[in-house]
Amino acid sequence: MRVLLLNPPLLTDPYTDDLVVNAPLSACVLTGYAGACLKQAGLDVAVMDADLAGLDVEATREQLLAEDFDLLGVHLKFLWGRTAEIMTMLQEIKREKPRIHLNLYGHYPTFAWEPLLRQFPFVDSVVLGEPELTLTDLARRLAGLDEGFWQDTAGLAVNGEGGPVQNSPRCAIADLDALPFPLRPSPELAARRNMHNYILGSRGCFGRCTFCYLNSFYGPGTVWRGRSPENIVVEIDEVYKTTGNPSFYFADANFFGPGERGRQRALELARLLKQRDFPLVFGLECRSSDVDEEVFAGLVEAGLRDVFLGVESGAQSALDRFQKGTTVAQNERAITILRRLGLNISLGFINFDPGTTLEEIRENLDFLQRMELLDCPSTTAHLFFHRQVVLRGTPAYNQLLARGQLRPVGFTAHEGEYTIVDPRAEAVARVMGRVCRLVLEITGGEDLYTARGPKVSCCGRVGDEGRSGLGEGLTAGGGNRSIPAHVQRQEIFRRLNLFLQDFLSRLLDAAGRGELNLGTVAGFVAAGHKEIGEIVRNS
């Protein structure tokens, strides 16, 4: 029995390029863990990371056809309209190799197992939730190493006689220390992206945010589960020894466990990390409520450099609606502490959601300015246009659907489309979406201009280094030719950053007066684009 695990190419388009929510960061080690468990169970396993290798769909197809395997496990991600391209490729593989077992796993298949099995009957099975133990059981049954029909494997969904059926669920893995360390890409492959070594210190979250499907993936009632600090440092040492790369990033959705026990575990981990005999640097992701000065000071001494902070909003009413379980005051305090410790901060932020009001947008603007978080136009643009993406599996999807506020759209109806209840807020969101995208085209996503304090960025994708990015039809050049290009570019960035803040403020005023509404969006977009053009030409 030869098992091949595939990470397909991560296809994007201009719309989805700036969206970051099709899978949580922890998904990046899903295949590595599954592969390690299969290996430990005595199976012959290989990983094809087409995304990391930079293969397109055609090259992936060619490589798959050239490989010999019995079970193909595919970590399928939701790629909006482009998901179909991956499914078409898999159909071709199954046609050419009809005897293989084709399995899908990951967050997207966990929530979309039914339409996937119904619409693509060539798929043999789908893993629901954590793939490690289910895939291993499936492979051993297929290989005849264990008794039982593969169709009955717990944690699997299959096509039964009457259509797709779900087998008995499998409990989330309780003892993470018992798992083997995940398989990792070769150092040469990892070097292609200048990657951190991703490490998973915990799974799940004690939060219950309505826009997040992390806990739904692990199964109802699951809790935050952490590896022991000792187990984590053994893996870190091993990885450093193999790769020589001292840069690590905790892919945990929430680095901290709940309460005092979570705090003590973090302090113990910091103590052990400090003892490494190489120049370790690392990053992590957390909630504002877990930012404690003593703990973070310890982590900084151990090599912490980057923190992704799930701030989400500067308006308490929005935080409450998200059931974030945090306050604006906690957000402010967390940012202040992280700044004081000299950390690079990235923010998770949702400026627009189905319940957004004009007052909340204003509160967000005030919050971002007060906390000096709008330090370059790329960051500002990302923070201003982020609109909640509602995917199946999140509590928000079901709540909004039940209220008749959501239209399931797109591939396997996985995304929910909505209009903000307050049409004036919807109009502001639409204008900012178009205007911010033009600014991002011009800046290429670069963070060139920094206002004050340590750099802050937003969670959107950052464009290629060196992209000229002045945007279609826009060229700098109206300004003084004797000014060096980089100074001129810095001036464009500075003015764009100020423009975005002023423009949003003016939009809110116009919406309040009734001038900006769903019927006048196009005119405001055109006016915004015109002002941007003038900034670029006159700088």
What is the binding site for ligand SF4 (CB under 6 A)?
205, 207-209, 212, 214, 253-254, 287, 310
User: What distance in Å separates the CA atoms of residue 264 and residue 338, rounded to the nearest whole number?
Assistant: 19
Q: Which is nearer to ligand SF4, 239 or 253 (CB)?
A: 253
Whether the Cβ atoms of residue 56 and residue 127 lie closer than 8 Å to each other: no
CB of 44 to ligand SF4, least distance (A): 35
Handedness of CA 195, 197, 200, 206 (dihedral sign): negative
Sign of CA dihedral 284, 288, 292, 297: positive
Secondary structure letter of residue 444 according to DSSP: T
Please give the Cα distance from 489 to 444 (Å, whole number): 12
Burial of 450-465, coded b for 16+ CB within 10 Å and e otherwise, reads eeeeeebbbbbeebee
Q: How far is the CB of 62 from ligand SF4 (least distance, A)?
A: 38
Q: Is the CB of 202 or the CB of 497 nearer to ligand SF4? A: 202
> What's the min distance (Å) between Cβ of 502 and ligand SF4?
31
Q: Residues near 313 by Cβ (< 8 Å), separated by ≥ 6?
A: 319, 322, 324, 328, 349, 350, 351, 360, 364, 367
Give 250 or 493: the residue with its C-beta nearer to ligand SF4. Answer: 250
Nearest distance from C-beta of residue 212 to ligand SF4, angstroms: 3
Nearer to ligand SF4, 212 or 474 (CB): 212
Nearest Cα neighbor of 6 from 46, 65, 62 is: 46
CB of 254 to ligand SF4, least distance (A): 5
Give the 3-state secondary structure percentages of the chain, helix then strand then coil, rounded to 5: 45, 15, 40
The torsion defined by the Cα of 26, 441, 448 and 17, in degrees rounded to 10, comes to 0
**DSSP for residue 46:** E
Q: How far is the CB of 354 from ligand SF4 (least distance, A)?
A: 17
Q: Is there a contact between 288 and 330 (Cβ–Cβ < 8 Å)?
A: yes
Q: How far is CA 384 from CA 295, 348, 474, in A?
A: 31, 12, 22
> Considering beta carbons, is residue 196 or 287 the nearer one to ligand SF4?
287
What is the rounded CA–CA span in Å between residue 248 and residue 268? Answer: 18
Instruction: Tell how strand 407-409 and strand 197-199 pair up.
Output: unpaired
DSSP 8-state assignment for residue 17: G
The residue among 139 and 253 lying less far from ligand SF4, judged by its C-beta, is 253
Least separation in angstroms between CB 313 and ligand SF4: 12
Residue 250 CB, shortest distance to ligand SF4, in Å, is 13
Q: How far is the CB of 214 from ligand SF4 (least distance, A)?
A: 5
Nearest CA to 181 among 26, 7, 283, 32? 32
- Select 128 or 214, whichever has its Cβ closest to ligand SF4: 214
Token reading at 423: 């049409």
Tell me how far, at minimum, the Cβ of 142 lies from ligand SF4, in Å.
Answer: 34
DSSP structure class, residue 352? B
Helix axes 377-385, 423-443, angle to 10 degrees: 150
Shortest reach from residue 252's CB to ligand SF4, in Å: 9
**H or E stretch at 502:** helix 485-513
Between 153 and 326, whose beta carbon lies closer to ligand SF4? 326
Which letter does DSSP use for residue 182 in this model?
Answer: P
Nearest distance from residue 211's CB to ligand SF4, in Å?
7
H-run or E-run covering 44? strand 44-49
Identify which of residues 287 and 424 has a Cβ nearer to ligand SF4 in the complex: 287
- Between 140 and 203, name the residue whose CB sits nearer to ligand SF4: 203
Shorter beta-carbon distance to ligand SF4: residue 350 or 474: 350
Give least dist CB 204 to ligand SF4, A. Answer: 8
Helices and strands per DSSP (H, E), number in the chain: 18, 18
Cβ-based nearer residue to ligand SF4, 45 or 173 = 173
Least Å distance, CB 338 to ligand SF4, is 16
Q: How far is CA 254 from the centre of its chain?
A: 13
Beta strands in 117-178 (DSSP E): 125-127, 156-160, 163-166
Cβ-based nearer residue to ligand SF4, 120 or 296? 296
Question: What six digits make up the tokens of 527?
Answer: 């006016």
Q: Which residue lies nearer to ligand SF4 by CB, 235 or 290? A: 290
Is residue 102 within 8 A of residue 76, CB to CB? The reply is no
